[in-house]
Structure 1
Amino acid sequence: MSKHPKPNALIWLILSVVVIALDQWSKAWVLRDLPEYTAIPVIEGFWNWYRTYNTGAAFSFLSDAGGWQIWFFTGLAVGISGLLTFWLSRAARGDWRQALPYSLVVGGALGNVIDRLMHGHVIDFIQWHWRDHYWPAFNLADSAIVAGAVGIALFGLFDGKRSKKA
């Protein structure tokens, strides 16, 4: 008598593929239709399309490091994506609090890896600002990473509190 394996959460990687596809589609649009370093207002005084490039990580961290950072951030993203995929393989399919944020981070991280490998930098194009205060430009992959990281933190915090009460 053999046990059937419990369905794991790897099916959630479909969401990662959707994130990668949307991210790459949006960046192809940017490369085709947006001029470099020119603000195009979407919502005046708050949101611009602004095509720029980032050879570093968040907030241009290590962007002027000389090139080695591209391989460092690529390896880091692939490693983290591998770890999260392993955790998905051990999570229950219906555990969306774990699967959803992990899948968002994997998709976002790999979307930016594709940029680094194809272009040597990440293509950013969403620019938010208030008056003269500008948030660093970002892209859909970055948005997925942030949403996933927030989900991991919040669900981890709330699930931890719930298990302490039990």
Structure 2
Amino acid sequence: MGNGQATGAANEGLRIDETAPVISRHSVTVQASAEIVWRVLTDIDAWTTWLPELPYARVETPGPLGSGSVFRWSASGLDIISTIAEVRPYERLVWSGHANGPDGILGVHVWNLAPGDDGLIVSTEESFAGPPVDADPGSIQAALDESLVTWLQRLKDTAETDAAG
């Protein structure tokens, strides 16, 4: 996995790059169904409605979201092209992509949804590799941690508002 590619045995699912210099893992419990959380998470064209710091997010590949679907988005001044690697509706979503081109940051992002005692547990983990990460892993780690915590809280707030009707 040192090449930064999302790989893994089929029964294990695809994983982040555990050898990457920056890895972030966070989770939150959501009081909403997996169907609601999944709808919010996978409606990429609507991300900017609940993640206002994203200037744009749009799916480029026609048809339903699936393995091989490509989407473009922007976050923290980075222009990102991502490709969906795995879709297990209501359970798991994985994508990877480059920010600012092939010499930029390679990210692998995994989302998991699982029932918990107190609600739906939504967990996310992401690895970052590439020359910009190697040059400043400390500040990139802090930025990624902050970003994922914000995404989880906003996803939770949006899904719980939708669930409340």
* Higher alpha-carbon Rg: 1
TM-score, normalisation: structure 1: 0.28
Relative to the length of structure 2, the TM-score reads: 0.28
